[in-house]
Amino acid sequence: MKATIVTIGDEILIGQIIDTNSGYIAKALDKVGVQTHEFLSISDDKQHILDTFASLQNKVDFVIITGGLGPTKDDITKKTFCDYFNDSLIVNKEVEKHVIELIESVMKRPASQINKDQALVPSKCHVLFNKVGTAPGMWMKKENTVYISLPGVPYEMKYIVEHEIIPKIVKEYERPYILHKTIMTYGQGESLVAERIEDWENNLPEFIKLAYLPAPGRVRLRLTARGTNKEILEQAINENVKSLAKIISDIIVGFDEDETIEVVLGRLLHQQSKTVSTAESCTGGKIAERFTSVSGASNYFRGSVVSYATDTKVSVLGVLQDTINQYSVVSSQVAKEMALGIQKLMKTDYAIATTGNAGPSKGDADATLGTVFIALATPNGILVEEFNFGQPREKVIDRAVNKAFEMLQKEILKNL
């Protein structure tokens, strides 16, 4: 089964907001065996919307639309639905009651007529109830294609997808199985990883496909199996993951999308009752941000100092001015003193420090652009490594963050 996801809104086309809805919907559909065929973003124009609907008719099983369901005049999706399905709007009493109760209980004011008009829906549609907002979703079928309209507000969209759309698809449609397994690797580039696993990849079953998803400092390997027998797919996926692990066990840090290196590190630190802190210059707090994105990080992450300015390294972390004068602010010596300083300040077992020239200008140092020093203070001592991650700036920062995590993981694993 195939779906096309359509976002409606000029604000997306001009870059005013970023479309996050399509990715969420695609992932939810994939879990129940519906393959997303394409993403489309179109303008708030009635004829454009109608032409898009007509172009997708009978070409996909589902057309899922987000946006244009608000109470203002520029929200035209419901009226356009009526034109496409030769229908008219009627008041859905259940939705109207919900809208009035929501406005009065949350906003503490009487519901206006504009608010009540949210209960207007095409008479032929199946209403997808929106418990967390005022705009209901709509489900309408024309020939072989189902058109589903959702509000653009992310939390409202997510509620309807989870509680209305997915259960309805599962109940009413027979679907193939689509299984994914993601292997997270750190420390080697895409081409080197591909070279190491070439023979293994060439011997994958025809129903399993491998995709490389590279990012600075890491590569995700995603296995996708499609078929009608779930048990056979699961067995094949598991067997091939085991054989892959024997080949590249030195760079595998976890499995599946949620098994990021920060999740793995958090689990290792928590299991060993160890703590970590960070002192960041060129990475600007991104290592700390990644640590704290994991639920329960307070069990092992004590805190961070973003010592972006040179004098902050001295006044807060205790880096010696003489060290900076002699070796430069971008040096292994300064990185070492930063790591030891934050380890002492936060009283942690491990401490990460970064200092470098991310670019595009050199700042207070003469080191080559892309140069980064990463220091890791441990219960047994300290190590410092020098890297050059090239340019542009974003690449340098991302690779430095990932390399810092990789260094910490390797050090922790030595003590297991």
Q: Rounded mean pLDDT of 109-115?
A: 89
Q: Of 392, 351, 357, which is closest to residue 282 (Cα–Cα)?
A: 357
Q: Rounded mean pLDDT of 319-342?
A: 97
Sign of CA dihedral 235, 239, 244, 250: positive
Mean confidence (pLDDT) of the chain: 92
Kindly list the domain boundaries of the chain, sorted by start residue. 2-172, 177-255, 261-414
Residues 207-223 have pLDDT tens digits of 999 999 998 778 999 99
Tell me the CATH number of domain 261-414, given options 3.90.950.20, 3.40.50.300, 3.30.540.10, 2.160.10.10. 3.90.950.20
Q: Rounded mean pLDDT of 47-73?
A: 90
Amino acid at 403: K
CATH superfamily of 2-172: MoaB/Mog-like domain (3.40.980.10)
Window from 72-81, 205-214, 311-320 with minimum mean pLDDT: 72-81
Structure token pair of residue 109: 């004011």
DSSP letter, residue 118: G
Q: Which residues pair with 303 in a beta bridge?
A: 277
Architecture of domain 177-255: 2-Layer Sandwich (3.30)
Give residue 367's pLDDT.
Answer: 78
Residues 6+ apart with CB under 8 A from 232: none
Residue 153 has pLDDT above 80, yes or no: yes
Residues 221-277 have pLDDT tens digits of 999 999 989 999 999 999 999 999 999 998 988 887 667 889 999 999 999 999 999
Give residue 196's pLDDT.
Answer: 96
Instruction: Count CB atoms within 10 A of the CB of residue 361.
Output: 8
Residue 44 has pLDDT above 90, yes or no: no
Strands 2-8 and 35-42 come out as: parallel
Strands 126-128 and 89-91 come out as: unpaired
